[in-house]
Structure formats: structure tokens, C-alpha cells
Amino acid sequence: MAATGQTPAMDRRCFLVSAGALGLAGPALTAQTPDPTLERLEALRAEAGIPALGGMVLSAQGGIWQGVSGVRRRGSSEAVTDQDRWHLGSNTKAMTAAVYARLVEQGKAGWDTTLPALFPDLAVDPAWAAVTLDQLFGHRAGVLDPVVMPTWMLTAWGGADVRRLRTGLAEAVLGGPPTGPVGVFVYSNAGYVVAGAAIERVCGEPWEEVMRRELFEPLGMASAGFGPPRGDNAWGHEGTALRSRDPTVRGSDNPPALGPAGTVHATMDDYARFLRVFLTDGGGWLTPDSLSRLTRPLAGDGRPYAAGWGVIPARSMTGGQPALAHDGSNTLWLARTLVAPGRNAALICVANAADPAQSAVDGLTRTLIERFPV
């Protein structure tokens, strides 16, 4: 965890949620009214001692339940609301991959395009000749964060624009051979920054602009943006001391150039608009074929992981179909999502703290699964 005054490091935990943590191992309970669920949410927040906690359950047809508890800043009396925006951290990865799927559908890109073909202007080591962007999305491209990220993170706050900074990381990654085994799952934030740089080459504009045009605007995600939410909103909190961090001050998030790996924020309602795509065969925003590609685990050793999603194998508790799960954090916020198409349901859990919020998010996840077996 970063100390006060320092830039928070992208949380390097593998943000995949186990079936046990999601409560998928036991029988579901009968759905209950929202009141006891909200009481449970408030109790979990109080037990964890965190400023704010929120959750939502949704189906393909709309929202089923939503609740928030707590305050926007520790020590403040200003209550958090259901219209506050939450930093989604690494849940941004599924959005980056989905936007690339849109570009494939438009004929601007290809799933099997190799990295040398995507970066013809860079000196790419021959060892990358057969590695594809698809493998970057699945964390199987052999990109190890501990090798390439520390130096880049120190320079990513420089005066260069985000496109140049992302290109700089791509140069560092691709200028030598893969630092890890290709085809083996190793969670990599750097891989997604390189993927963002590839999207920028395909479109000729910053990743942020592509996200606005291809994702936020078509899905009506009016609250969505990048970095810590500003204005009339909750703040993130640092460490176990839960120091609130002013979103206008450097250190309240990772460098903006890290965007494709995890800087999107949104209200729960607007985040649900994106998740509903995975409950509706693409919802007209993506084709069913694209959705299948995005949610299919890549072949290889290690955890089952698709394009920005950890994949839970099909079982009776997932409705007989695989479920998707992911956590995200910039060490100041925590967000979790679970999407179970076989149960026509998805859930969101959010907090404006990170490690101290883990027990509350785990407890809320189990509660929502038990009480709303859609």
C-alpha cells in the first residue's frame, strides 16, 4: 500500500474470485425483501470499519436490488448515495477487451493479429512473432509486471501524453523477448496497457476517446469517466488508517496512462449497463459471436481466464453455464462483479477502501447470492 503523498501502485493481486468466495458452493435461499439485505449491508460495513459499501443485483430485464451504506469520507457526515460513482479498477480490463471486439466487428482489427503487425513502427523482438493481442487480453502473452512496470510507473507521471507513455511501455515490453512463458496465465497490467496502445494505433486516437465513443455513449453510461471520481462524490481511502484522498491530488489513483488496465469509474447503475451486455447475448452492442469470444477461456496452463474475466466452470449453482467474475482495486477503492448468464443475474459490490473492505465485500457477495437466486 502506498504511503501518504505517494502514488498508489496498481494492486498486483490476481483479481479472480474463487467459487467458494462467491458462495457458489452451498444452497441458495429464497429471495427476500430488500430491507434485511440493506440491514446486512450496513452491518458488514460497520464490522469492517470502512466509510462506505454498496451493492447491486441485476438481471437482463433491469435492476433487482440496490443499496448503499456509510459516508463519502471518513469522519464526515455526508452520506454516500446510490448515484455516487465508484472506481472500478481492474474491472476496466473487460471493457478494454470488449471495445476491441467492437473494432473487430467494424473490420478495423482482428483477434489473431500478431503484436508485430499491430506495432509496425516499433522494433519488435522476433520472439513475439506469433503472439497475438488475444493472448494479452487473456494474460498469456508472457508479460511480467515485476520486470517492466516499476521503471515505467516512475516515469508515467511525466509531461508526455498518455499515448506516448503507452507506446513507451510497448517499446519496453516488445523490444526484448517475453519475460514470462507464453501460453501460461500470469496476471499482467502491463499487457493491458500494451493492448491499449494497440487500440490507439488502430483508431488513431487516445484509448479514452475510443472508450467514450464505442462504449460509454452507445450504452448510455453518462456517469462513466477515468481516474478517481471528482466533484460531489465519495473519495477513496488509503491503507488500514483509511486516510481519505482528495481526487484532485496526485496519488489518488495510478497514472492516467495505466487506463486500459484499470482507471474507469461509474455509478452502479451505469456499470450495470455494461454487465447487462453479458446477460443478453451482446444486447445489440456486440454480436453473440463476439460475446462468445470474450467469455471463452484461452487455452493454456493456469487459471481459466477469458478477455478481462475470470471464468467459473458451469455447475448447478451457476445455472448450468460458466459464470464470469473479477475484482478491481487501485489500493484506494474495491469493486467486484459476478455475472451468471445461466441464472440471468449479475451482482456488483463496491467500497471506497481496499484491503480493509475485503471482508465486507466477501460477506456482501455471499448475501446477495443467497437472497437473490434469480
The contacts found for 358-363 with CB under 8 angstroms, 24 or more apart, are: 358/48, 358/334, 359/44, 359/47, 359/48, 360/44, 360/45, 360/47, 360/48, 360/50, 360/53, 361/53, 361/327, 361/334, 361/336, 362/21, 363/40, 363/44, 363/47
Give the whole-angstrom CA distance, residue 332 versus residue 316: 35
Look at residue 373 in the predicted model and tell me its pLDDT.
Answer: 76
Q: What angle, rounded to 10 degrees, do the helices at 189-203 and 92-105 form? A: 30
Model confidence over 176-226: pLDDT tens digits? 999 999 999 999 999 999 999 999 999 999 999 999 999 999 999 999 999
Residue 128 pLDDT grade (very low, low, confident, very high; cuts 50, 70, 90): very high
What is the DSSP annotation of 197-231? HHHHHHHTS-HHHHHIIIIIHHHT-TT-EESS--S
pLDDT in tens, 262-274: 999 999 999 999 9
- pLDDT on residue 241: 95
What SS3 class is residue 155? helix
Is the pLDDT reported for residue 257 higher than 70? yes
Provide the pLDDT confidence category of residue 33 given band limits of 50, 70 and 90: very low
Query: Rounded to two decimals, what is the model's pTM?
Result: 0.93
DSSP run (H or E) holding 162: helix 162-174
Phi-psi category of 139—alpha, beta or left, where left has phi over 0 and alpha has psi -120 to 50?
left
* Rounded mean pLDDT, 72-101: 97
Q: Which residue from 94, 88, 101 is spatially nearest to 139, judged by alpha carbons?
A: 94
**Which domains does the chain show, CATH number per domain?**
34-371 (3.40.710.10)
Do 206 and 198 contact (CB within 8 A), yes or no?
Answer: no
pLDDT in tens, 276-333: 999 999 999 999 999 999 999 999 999 999 999 999 999 988 999 999 999 999 999 9
Average pLDDT over residues 229-249: 96
- List the single range of 17-26, 79-88, 251-260 with lowest mean pLDDT: 17-26
